[in-house]
Amino acid sequence: MPHNANSSLVAVIMGSKSDWDTMSHAHEMLEKFGVPHECHIVSAHRTPDWLKEFANTAEARGLQVVIAGAGGAAHLPGMCAAQTILPVLGVPVQSAALNGMDSLLSIVQMPSGIPVGTLAIGKAGAANAALLAIAMLATANPELREKLRKFRQEQEAKVRNDELPGK
């Protein structure tokens, strides 16, 4: 995993190594756009002191957006958002017991005052969290804005050129 604590603009954190299968999609999207980022396992309940240290130092280290993925009783995004003013994007990881509905509801239902921008359950949510982080960074970065525009154009062209089998 990339780890360059000095220049990262985005941090991708997740509650467990088991979340990587999902959260790697955020990492891959950030890689594709050349956005400096770092990835860490940070558990709200297993490593509370590490979460506190991470969140308390994130802004001063130059991070601009945090993407936090967790499953089950998924309090990582909310507990991270509580300790930093950086925007936090939450990704509900698909859980075995409740298919990610537990993760989604845990992340999305933040009481007023501490927002978490909640994405879709699973891999699409992780990829979109990265795209949203990129769009946020792009408001002040024309080069990134052009990369985002090109990405949309390529996506559109692919869909327009898709053919249905046997048609």
Q: Which residues bind ligand RP5 (CB under 6 A)?
A: 15-16, 18-19, 43, 70-72, 93
Q: Which is nearer to ligand RP5, 19 or 38 (CB)?
A: 19
| 19 assigned to a ligand binding site | yes
Tokens 């969140």: give the residue. 55
In angstroms, the CA 87 to CA 64 distance is 7
Q: CB of residue 76 vs ligand RP5: minimum separation in angstroms?
A: 6
In angstroms, the CA 102 to CA 86 distance is 25
CB atoms within 10 A of CB 66: 27
Q: Which is nearer to ligand RP5, 78 or 144 (CB)?
A: 78
Q: CB of residue 45 vs ligand RP5: minimum separation in angstroms?
A: 7
Q: CB of residue 20 vs ligand RP5: minimum separation in angstroms?
A: 10
Helices and strands, number each (H, E), in the chain? 6, 5
Q: Which is nearer to ligand RP5, 9 or 77 (CB)?
A: 77
Query: Is there a contact between 110 and 104 (Cβ–Cβ < 8 Å)?
Result: no
Q: CB of residue 165 vs ligand RP5: minimum separation in angstroms?
A: 37
User: What DSSP letter does each residue of 13-42 carry, written as one string?
Assistant: EESSGGGHHHHHHHHHHHHHTT--EEEEE-
Q: Which is nearer to ligand RP5, 21 or 146 (CB)?
A: 21
Binding site feature residues for substrate: 16, 19, 46
